[in-house]
Amino acid sequence: MNSPLPLAPAADAQDASSSQAVKAQLRLREMILAGELVSGARITELAIVEKLGVSRTPIREALMRLEQEGLLESLVNGGYAVRTFSERDISEAIELRGTLEGLLARLAAERGVATVLMAQARACLASIDAVLQQPALDDEHFLQYVTLNQNFHNLLADMGGSQVIARELERVVKLPFASPSGFVIEQTNSPRARDTLLVAQDQHWQVLEAIEQREGGRAEAIMREHSRIAQRNLRGVLHIHDAMQMPGMRLIRRAQTL
Per-residue pLDDT at 224: 95
Question: Is pLDDT above 80 for 17?
Answer: no
> Residue 190 CA to chain centroid, in angstroms?
22
**Rg value, the chain, Cα:** 21
- Other beta carbons within 10 angstroms of residue 18's beta carbon come to 13
Q: Round to the nearest angstrom and report the end-to-end CA distance of the chain.
A: 72
Per-residue pLDDT at 256: 45
Residue 258 binned pLDDT confidence (cut-offs 50, 70, 90): very low
Residue 35 binned pLDDT confidence (cut-offs 50, 70, 90): confident
Give per-residue pLDDT as tens, 186-234: 555 556 778 889 999 999 999 999 999 999 999 999 999 999 888 887 7
Please give the average per-residue pLDDT across 66-73, as a whole number: 83
Pick the residue with more confidence: 99 or 15? 99
Per-residue pLDDT at 23: 86
Per-residue pLDDT at 184: 62
Per-residue pLDDT at 132: 92
Question: Is pLDDT above 60 for 243?
Answer: no
Q: The domain 9-83: what is its CATH number? A: 1.10.10.10
Give per-residue pLDDT as tens, 79-90: 899 888 888 888
Domain 86-253 belongs to what architecture? Up-down Bundle (1.20)
User: What mean pLDDT, rounded, does the chain reach?
Assistant: 83
Domain 9-83 matches domain 86-253 at the CATH topology level: no
Q: Domains of the chain: which residue ranges?
A: 9-83, 86-253
Per-residue pLDDT at 10: 52
Pick the residue with more confidence: 124 or 246? 124
Q: Write the DSSP string, the chain.
A: -PPPPPPPHHHHHHHHHHHHHHHHHHHHHHHHHTTSS-BT-EE-HHHHHHHHT--HHHHHHHHHHHHHHTSEEE-TTSSEEE--EEHHHHHHHHHHHHHHHHHHHHHHHHH---HHHHHHHHHHHHHHHHHHTSSS--HHHHHHHHHHHHHHHHHHHHHHT-HHHHHHHHHHHTSTT-STTTTTGGGTT-TTHHHHHHHHHHHHHHHHHHHHTT-HHHHHHHHHHHHHHHHHHHHHHHTSTTGGGSTTGGGEE--S--
Give the neighbor-by-neighbor strand order of the sheet with 72-74.
42-43, 80-82, 72-74
Give per-residue pLDDT as tens, 130-181: 999 988 777 788 878 888 999 999 999 999 999 999 999 988 887 767 888 7
Mean pLDDT lowest among 15-19, 20-24, 54-58, 233-237: 15-19
